[in-house]
Structure 1
Amino acid sequence: MQVAATAIVRDIVLIGGGHSHVGVLRMFAMHPLPGLRLTVICTDTDTPYSGMLPGYIAGHYGFDEAHIDLRRLAEFAGARYFRDEVTGIDRGARKVLCRTRPPVPYDVLSINIGSTPQLSRVRGAAEYAVPVKPIRRFNERWLALLERVRRHAGPTTIAVVGAGAGGVELTLAMQYRLRGELAALGRDPDELRFHLFSAGATILPTHNAAVRGAFARVLAERGVAVHCNAEVTEVAAGRLQVRDGEVFDADEIVWVTQAGGAPWLRDTGLTLDGDGFIRVRDTLQTETDALIFAAGDCAAMNGWPLEKAGVFAVRMGKPLAENLRRTVLRQPLRPYRPQRRWLALISTGDRHAVASRGWIFARGDWVWRWKDWIDRRFMRRFSEFPQMKGAAGASSASPIPLDESEQTQAISAIAMRCGGCGAKVGATVLARALADVHPIERDDVLIGLHAPDDAAVLHVPPGYALVHSVDFFRAFIDDPWVFGRIAANHALGDIFAMGGEAQSATAIATVPPGLESKIEDTLFQMMAGAVEVLNEAGCALVGGHTGEGRELALGFAINGLIDERLDGVLRKGGMRPGDALILTKPIGTGTLFAAHARLAARGRWIDAALASMQVSNRAAVPCLVAHGATACTDLTGFGLLGHLVEMTRPSGVDAEIDLNALPLLDGAAETAAAGILSSLQPANVRLRRALRNQSEALQHPAYPLLFDPQTAGGLLASVPAENAEACVAALRALGYATTARIGRVLAEGDALEPIRLLPAPRRLVVGHH
């Protein structure tokens, strides 16, 4: 997590990761504005570049070549990345409403979410057609279609609705790829049949006659049936009907037409055009609200009827970034003047393309090479980042104008801070931040958070004993809500690992100084995430302490309840020779977040790691107990090897780990192999002396991950061997999808080293992609 050297005084929130916003992020990365914080909210970490999408479909580019890693770009820009779906805007409160997380406040807002297929306008299209947007869902269907064509012998008919540049290009790209797949399998490529439907009298209506003629010839040569004046009026399973009543059969119907604005925009109060796009001025401000901007396909610019083409979204990035900056600085905005003519380079599926600009026409393999060079150069701007000197470290005063009350707070935030009780967050800020946090109530909590006193008072029911644990660490991601969820999950882990029931939690939080409104929201977001997890665990938040510090941090002291006779309690020291070792979650968080800090991890790897860290161990413990578990611990900072050694010593046993069986988080093997390891790794590596045959395993890709420290890791348990297979199956059914049997418990031998490794090379088990 990046630490701001200047107190945050303004928030710009970017909804969507479209072509305009990736440009904004890069421009602010190159020229940061002290005191300004950027936040990106987007559903997809891998955001597609429209210029390379047909090439990806045709097989000329890999997935990563055609997608921008939005999380990695945001990290480079020092921006917060919130992966969520936006559902609305509360303009009165200046907050963005999200599907799963609390509302996100903004001072200035920008929307760049593209267009949304309006399938509801045609009966049955929403149920039976495949819209090309959002690209993520289309890609899932496309990969499924690829696999289906490979496996299914016999004719396959594909219909593409929409004969603009996007529809024509996509048709030819799909046909090229699928025919190639069939030829490689020794099958007849003519099993495939393509139909292209245009509601108008021609294809490519916005391009000149030479371009239209060239593509008409290409489509005819390749056997694509083109239907003009054929507006689709109804779609059903396996067929579609056009305006004159003619019906066509189709195994797959791809929709590349009739796009409009996202449905949630209708409830924002922003002025929209007839297709639901946001009306904007030449400054890219919305007509309705000067603090909200829009760009790309979702914007309708007054006086400029722009085609929905990626070139305009890209060109809007620079003026949008400039006007967002000027709005925060309270400077006059600059108008954006889009070009009246633009160059379109349209591929024909193979490595051949057509150039179109006004009445200009050219075609050839050289045009495709030109397009490829332009596209790759564009993508390098968002994947190859320069070294930035001093952006996060040097402190400087913010040039952002502030109101009088804000100036006093800002001066206080950057002044020398008090220690002791003077470092506490103010009572008013704390009260406001916690007002909308609602911890559960328990009968055994006699005095808690909302009946505050000097301390909480709890009742221990008869027959129970207290089990107590504490954990605390600084934030490693810039999303306080997700961080709060992980911190709570991590703290609960020790209680669950012993088979206890979580009763209460006392929090200790540190937040960076700044404007009261920014502190309040950060604290609220973090505690809202934490309380969700605590509530799900039946654990009541009963109090805590909040202070100021340079970095965001959070921890909890957890009280739990166990049977006072210790019946059903799982401890580290109960392993027996012959038991199987079971691990419930994949490992690799330490190396992945070390790589993330260096911009060396793919965003989707971090997404998967964060998802794993938010999976509670609570449901796993009863399952382990039901299958006769003899010992258990949760994996945290000491890593897999350290925690296993902690179990073998009190149990008086040795153990064997199968390195090939270890479940690994996506990307962990890659980042570890690159030598990117957690700062705690060197201390953990000292435990290599516990390995009996270390030299045999040094070259195994999973070897470094034995020492990788985990945050909110899974449970490591020993289970009677005869129950292991059923236990693994039951855990997977509960949602622990990568649960694996990773080794076995051995009788204590004569060797001093208790752990033996099985390093024979086999395929690694990894988490979900």
Structure 2
Amino acid sequence: MATLVLAGAGHAHLPILTNIPEFVRRGHCVTVIGADDFHYYSGMGPGLLSGDYRPEHTRFDVATLTRRGGGTFVRDRVTGIDPGTRKVHTENSGWIDYDVLSCNLGSSVCLPTGEFDKDRVFTVKPIENLDKFRRSVQATDRNLLVVGGGAAGAEIAANLGCWLSGSGHSAHVDLIAGNVFLADFPAGIRHRVERTLDALPVRLHAGERLAKLERGQAILESGLALPYDRALLATGVTPPLLFAEADLPTGQDGGLLVNRFLQAIDHPEIFGGGDCISFADRHLARVGVYAVRQGPVLLRNLLAALEGEQLTPFRPQNHFLLIFNLGRQQGLLRWHSLTWSGRIPFLIKDYIDRRFMQEYQRCGETNQPHSSS
């Protein structure tokens, strides 16, 4: 009997969670370590701000999913790995043994420098922070701040602006977008998003970078000071430090270095997926679609590693469908060179997201394995 430990219950681990009964049937023990009983789906996160979705629409009950499948769920935080003795350290539960380990620990947003009230400053990770941010906004708040000029910052500012204008709230949003707003996207995409923000109580500060955050004001590198009552940080994310601290091979950004089988370099008993990994042979953007696609490969490879079978390579697609949620049930779709804005792109995204959620939520309710094919 071998023991599989899943460190984290993110997108890449969902197929494993719904197939725990198969691991148990084959005689293996499965332990899942998660910081919370629920895992939130990042694709629906911005809709928490606009009110399109309620928290229960956007989350999986990973604790129940694990226990119903015959696994053990440990609500705790992973704080260390000892690859030599094959143990995972947790904040409150001590050391947990493994034969095979899979890490899906996500990433975190680095806090800026400066002295600020941490109860007024939120990060986009974990995703449930978006709901907490919205519920924290007071009627007396006038200045809301979003920091980050990527897709996440754009979606968050747009949905927050829609909620403010639709609720009659007198606050506005300042979006600090960095050197170039939506730098990884074509100019046509950027201009469409800018037009959307212009129609909302959102002030875009393109070409501006945050220098530091003080109590009640954001200081930009240009010297401009912006007042704020609440701030939401959607800047770049970094993997957890525990891989480097465990002397495991890491990429330049600290992510667990893996091969094409999602297997740690020099440690064949350790696997990983999602934001916490880096590939040895390629750079791959940290977007949710890749974590979701890694899930079925991880499922096959973890079973193979436990039973001495051949591994399956992960082959990321070169192109993937991207749809921005811009609030008010408006979307912006990009597929290759095609761009399409309006309500239909939002409805396409909404259908895809809800189908994905219902598929895994249904597995948790019925305890029926989810097909990985």
TM tier relative to shorter chain: over 0.9
- Measured against aligned partners, the alpha-carbon deviations of 1:638-692 in whole angstroms (never above 9, x if no partner) come to xxxxxxxxxxxxxxxxxxxxxxxxxxxxxxxxxxxxxxxxxxxxxxxxxxxxxxx
The equivalent residue for 2:160 is 174
The 3 A distance-change label for structure 1 pair 387 and 129 is closer
> Is the 8 Å Cα contact of residues 8 and 105 (structure 2) preserved in structure 1?
yes
Root-mean-square deviation over aligned CA pairs: 2.1
Aligned match for 1:300, one of 278, 281, 300: 278
Partners in 2 of 1:124 and 1:339 — Cα distance? 43
The equivalent residue for 2:150 is 164
Query: How much has 1:33 moved relative to structure 2?
Result: 4.6
The equivalent residue for 1:234 is 212
The equivalent residue for 2:337 is 359
> Is the 8 Å Cα contact of residues 45 and 69 (structure 1) preserved in structure 2?
yes
What amino acid is aligned across from residue 240 of structure 2 in structure 1? Answer: A
The equivalent residue for 2:190 is 212
Identity %: 29
The 3 A distance-change label for structure 1 pair 372 and 29 is farther
Partners in 1 of 2:116 and 2:319 — Cα distance? 34
Query: How much has 1:12 moved relative to structure 2?
Result: 0.7
Q: Does 1:255 pair with 2:238?
A: no
> Is the 8 Å Cα contact of residues 65 and 367 (structure 2) preserved in structure 1?
no
The 3 A distance-change label for structure 1 pair 33 and 324 is farther
Q: Does 1:197 pair with 2:151?
A: no
Query: How much has 1:103 moved relative to structure 2?
Result: 1.0
Partners in 2 of 1:31 and 1:10 — Cα distance? 10
Partners in 2 of 1:237 and 1:167 — Cα distance? 21
> Is the 8 Å Cα contact of residues 125 and 234 (structure 1) preserved in structure 2?
no
The equivalent residue for 1:109 is 101
Partners in 2 of 1:316 and 1:47 — Cα distance? 17
Mapping of residues 729-748 of structure 1, within 5 Å? none
Partners in 1 of 2:196 and 2:50 — Cα distance? 16
Partners in 2 of 1:124 and 1:294 — Cα distance? 35
- Measured against aligned partners, the alpha-carbon deviations of 1:195-237 in whole angstroms (never above 9, x if no partner) come to 1112222x22222222211101101121421112211111101
> Is the 8 Å Cα contact of residues 24 and 30 (structure 2) preserved in structure 1?
no
Residue 308 of structure 1 aligns to a residue whose secondary structure is coil
> Is the 8 Å Cα contact of residues 286 and 294 (structure 1) preserved in structure 2?
yes
What amino acid is aligned across from residue 110 of structure 1 in structure 2? Answer: S
Query: How much has 1:358 moved relative to structure 2?
Result: 3.1
What amino acid is aligned across from residue 162 of structure 2 in structure 1? Answer: Y
Instruction: Give 5+ residue unaligned stretches, structure 1.
Output: 1-8, 184-188, 392-769
> Is the 8 Å Cα contact of residues 240 and 250 (structure 1) preserved in structure 2?
yes
Partners in 2 of 1:37 and 1:31 — Cα distance? 7
Residue 355 of structure 2 aligns to a residue whose secondary structure is helix
Residue 235 of structure 1 aligns to a residue whose secondary structure is strand
> Is the 8 Å Cα contact of residues 208 and 358 (structure 1) preserved in structure 2?
no
The 3 A distance-change label for structure 1 pair 103 and 341 is same
Residue 328 of structure 2 aligns to a residue whose secondary structure is coil
Query: How much has 1:28 moved relative to structure 2?
Result: 4.0
> Is the 8 Å Cα contact of residues 165 and 200 (structure 2) preserved in structure 1?
no
Mapping of residues 257-272 of structure 1, within 5 Å? 257-272=235-250
> Is the 8 Å Cα contact of residues 324 and 332 (structure 2) preserved in structure 1?
yes
- Measured against aligned partners, the alpha-carbon deviations of 1:164-205 in whole angstroms (never above 9, x if no partner) come to 111111111122223333x3xxxxx4x21111112222x222
Query: How much has 1:244 moved relative to structure 2?
Result: 1.8
Mapping of residues 39-50 of structure 1, within 5 Å? 39-50=31-42
Residue 39 of structure 1 aligns to a residue whose secondary structure is strand
Mapping of residues 73-88 of structure 1, within 5 Å? 73-88=65-80
Partners in 1 of 2:115 and 2:293 — Cα distance? 37
Q: Does 1:89 pair with 2:68?
A: no
The 3 A distance-change label for structure 1 pair 366 and 138 is closer
The 3 A distance-change label for structure 1 pair 138 and 362 is closer
Residue 119 of structure 1 aligns to a residue whose secondary structure is coil
The equivalent residue for 2:6 is 14
Mapping of residues 496-511 of structure 1, within 5 Å? none
Mapping of residues 96-175 of structure 1, within 5 Å? 96-119=88-111, 122-124=113-115, 127=118, 129-145=121-137, 148-149=138-139, 152=140, 156-175=142-161
What amino acid is aligned across from residue 254 of structure 2 in structure 1? Answer: G
Mapping of residues 313-712 of structure 1, within 5 Å? 313-385=291-363
The 3 A distance-change label for structure 1 pair 353 and 29 is farther
Instruction: Give 5+ residue unaligned stretches, structure 2.
Output: none
Query: How much has 1:102 moved relative to structure 2?
Result: 2.7
Partners in 1 of 2:26 and 2:116 — Cα distance? 49
- Measured against aligned partners, the alpha-carbon deviations of 1:339-371 in whole angstroms (never above 9, x if no partner) come to 111111111111111111332211121111111
- Measured against aligned partners, the alpha-carbon deviations of 1:27-75 in whole angstroms (never above 9, x if no partner) come to 4446755111111101111110011111122111121111111112213
Residue 212 of structure 1 aligns to a residue whose secondary structure is helix
Residue 104 of structure 1 aligns to a residue whose secondary structure is strand
Query: How much has 1:380 moved relative to structure 2?
Result: 1.1
Residue 125 of structure 2 aligns to a residue whose secondary structure is coil
Query: How much has 1:20 moved relative to structure 2?
Result: 0.5
Aligned length: 367
> Is the 8 Å Cα contact of residues 23 and 30 (structure 2) preserved in structure 1?
no
Query: How much has 1:329 moved relative to structure 2?
Result: 1.1
Aligned match for 2:29, one of 34, 37, 51: 37
Over alpha carbons, which structure has the higher Rg? 1
